[in-house]
Amino acid sequence: MARRQSSSSKPSIAIIGAGLAGLRCADVLVQNGIRVTVIEARDRIGGRVHQERLPGGRAVVDLGPNWIHGTDDNPIFDIAKHTNTAAGSLDSNVWVHDHLGDLMSQEDGQRCSAMVWDLVQQAFEHSNAHGAETHADKSLLDFVRERITAMIPESDGEFAKKRETVLRLAEMWGTFVGSPVSQQSLKYFWLEECLEGENLFCAGTYKKILDHIAAPAMAGADIMLNAKVTEITHPPQSGNKVKVQLDGGRHLLFDEVVVTAPLGWLKRHPEAFNPRLPARLTKAINSIGYGCLEKVYVTFPTAFWLVGTKMSGFIEWITPTYAPSNPRRWHQDAFELGSLSAPDNHPTLLFYTFGEQSKHMTSTLAQLTTEAERTAFLTDFFQPYYSLLPNYSAESSDCHPLGFLATEWLNDELAGNGSYSNFQVGLENGDKDIEIMREGLPDQGIWFAGEHTAPFVAVGTATGAYWSGEMVGKRIIEAYARVEQS
C-alpha cells in the first residue's frame, strides 16, 4: 500500500452511493473512528432498496429487492429476524396456463415446474464440475434442450407436448437473473448459485432492514444527499489526495474513495474516472452482464382469485398466443400476495418482467405523461392474464384493478439503467472479472463495492451488496493498521 502515509490523524474516506454496500462500509469504518463522508446523488438513502405505497393506500411494497436468498449464515436474514421483519416461504403451489390460456391441472403444472427446477439443479452441477471446459457461447437453454430428451423420453405417449411445455416454462428462470435463459451462460451458471437454505419473500419489505443497516452511518458519518459525482481524479503519486468532483463545480479531497455505484453506471460512465481505469479493470466491468428485471404490482379491491379456490402461490402464463398487447408472446410470471400471512397480505399480483419485455414496458411508460395513460397501457397489457384467474368477471368491481405500480430501473441513470449483475453467453473469465473489480485500485485510493463485487455465493443479491461494503471497510482498516505498525 505504497500511497498511504504514516500519520497520527485518521484518514478521510468518501463513499459514493448510499445503498446497502455504502451504508455497511460506512458502518465498519465509523466503528473504527474513521472520518466518513457518504455522497449520494438521490434525495434519499437506500439506492435500489426503496419502497412505495400501492395505489389506494393498501400496502407499502419493495421496488427493489424483495427476496432474502438463503438463510444459512446470511446477515440480511439475521437482521430481518432482529427487526421483526416478516419474511417467509411463499406458497409452493404452481399454476400454469398453457399457450392458449387454458389452466393445466395442478398436478401437471407442478410436475412440469418440478422438471424445470430439476434441470436448473443439473445445470448448476454441470457448471460447477465442467465449467472450465464448457464453451463460452453455450447457454442454459442449450443445456435444457439437451437434457430434456432423457427426462421425457419418446416412449412417453405425449413426449413432444410435455417437452414443449417444459421448454416454455423454463423461460421463467429469466425472472431470477433479469435476462432470457437463451442468454444465460452455462459456463458461469455456477456463479448464479446462492447461499444454502431457503429463499424467503420479504413480505414486511426491506424498510426496517435498511433502517437498521443505515443507523450507524446516519449517526456517525457525514451524509451528503442530492450530491451527484461527475469525476473522480485518482493520482498515482504517493500521498496525494483523491479528488471528487460534484455536479455544480464543487470538489472535495479524500485519502480514499469507495465507489459503490451500480455496475450499469460503471459501464456507462468510464469518463468519470481521471485517468481512465486500467484496461483489464475496464474489461471486467464491461464483461459482466447487467440485468433488466422490472416489477409491476397490480392491486385489486379483493383477492378475488382466492375465493373458494386453492389458487395461491405462483402463477405462470407460458408463451401466450391470445394477448394482442403481447405479440412477442413474452412469458408472464406472477406471485399472488393475497395468501401471505396477515397483516402483510394484500390483494395484489406481483408480475416480474425481464429482457425485451422490460425494455418495451419501461420505454413505453417513459413516453406516457399522465397517470391515466400509464394505467390504460398497463391495463391493456396485463388484463389478458388476470382475466383468466378464478372468479374473474369484467362486470365485477372487485376484478378491476385499483391501480398499478411499475418499476422503471431501466430509465434510472443512478441505478445504471438496469437492475443487477448476471452472467451471459460469451463470458470467458467471469470469476476473474469479479475478483478484479473486487480488488479495485487500492494503491491509487479507489475501491469498489456493490453486489457485482460480492463473494461468489452472493453476487447479484442484497446480501452480496452488504458483504461487499463490509469487506472493503475491513480492507481499508487493515491497510492503515499496517502503515501505523511499520
Q: What's the average pLDDT block by block, 10 residues per block, for the chain (486 residues)?
A: 55 97 98 97 98 91 96 97 94 91 93 94 96 97 96 92 94 92 97 91 97 98 98 80 95 97 98 97 98 97 94 94 96 95 95 97 97 97 98 97 97 96 97 98 96 97 98 96 76
User: Within this chain, do residues 445 and 310 fall inside the same structural domain, yes or no?
Assistant: no
Q: Is 43 helix (H, G, I), strand (E, B) or coil?
A: coil
Which range marks the domain in which residue 92 is found?
51-112+168-180+189-202+290-413
Sign of the torsion formed by the C-alpha atoms of 357, 359, 361 and 362: positive
Q: Determine, yes or no, domain membership for 470.
A: yes
Q: Determine, yes or no, domain membership for 143.
A: no
In this prediction, residue 6 carries a pLDDT of 41
Q: Determine, yes or no, domain membership for 125.
A: no
User: Within this chain, do residues 320 and 372 fall inside the same structural domain, yes or no?
Assistant: yes
Query: What's the CATH code of the domain at 227?
Result: 3.50.50.60
Q: Determine, yes or no, domain membership for 277.
A: yes
pTM as predicted: 0.96
User: Within this chain, do residues 280 and 387 fall inside the same structural domain, yes or no?
Assistant: no
User: Within this chain, do residues 230 and 349 fall inside the same structural domain, yes or no?
Assistant: no
DSSP state of 184: B
Contacts of 458 (CB under 8 A, 6+ apart): 69, 70, 194, 195, 451, 464, 467
User: Within this chain, do residues 319 and 440 fall inside the same structural domain, yes or no?
Assistant: no
User: Within this chain, do residues 218 and 325 fall inside the same structural domain, yes or no?
Assistant: no
The residue from 413, 443, 477 where one domain ends is 413
What are the start-end ranges of the E strands in 283-361? 289-290, 294-299, 314-317, 332-336, 348-353
Q: How many structural domains is the chain composed of?
A: 2
Q: Determine, yes or no, domain membership for 419.
A: no
Name the helix (H) or strand (E) containing 405: strand 403-406
Query: What's the CATH code of the domain at 105?
Result: 3.90.660.10
Q: How many helices (H) and strands (E) does the chain have?
A: 13, 21
User: Within this chain, do residues 21 and 81 fall inside the same structural domain, yes or no?
Assistant: no
Residue with cell 446477515: 75
Pairing of strands 67-69, 446-448: unpaired
User: Within this chain, do residues 210 and 353 fall inside the same structural domain, yes or no?
Assistant: no
Q: Determine, yes or no, domain membership for 456.
A: yes
User: Within this chain, do residues 435 and 304 fall inside the same structural domain, yes or no?
Assistant: no
The residue from 361, 389, 413 where one domain ends is 413
Q: Determine, yes or no, domain membership for 126.
A: no
243 grid coordinates:
479528488
Q: Determine, yes or no, domain membership for 343.
A: yes
**Separation of alpha carbons 323 and 208, rounded Å:** 39
386 closest CA partner among 412, 421, 347: 347
DSSP for 93-160 reads -EEEE-TTSPBPPHHHHHHHHHHHHHHHHHHHHHHHHHGGGS-TT-BHHHHHHHHHHHHS-TTSTTHH
User: Within this chain, do residues 75 and 19 fall inside the same structural domain, yes or no?
Assistant: no
The residue from 362, 384, 413 where one domain ends is 413
User: Within this chain, do residues 214 and 258 fall inside the same structural domain, yes or no?
Assistant: yes
User: Within this chain, do residues 245 and 347 fall inside the same structural domain, yes or no?
Assistant: no
User: Beta partners for 296?
Assistant: 351, 406
Sign of the torsion formed by the C-alpha atoms of 311, 317, 322 and 323: positive
In this prediction, residue 150 carries a pLDDT of 92
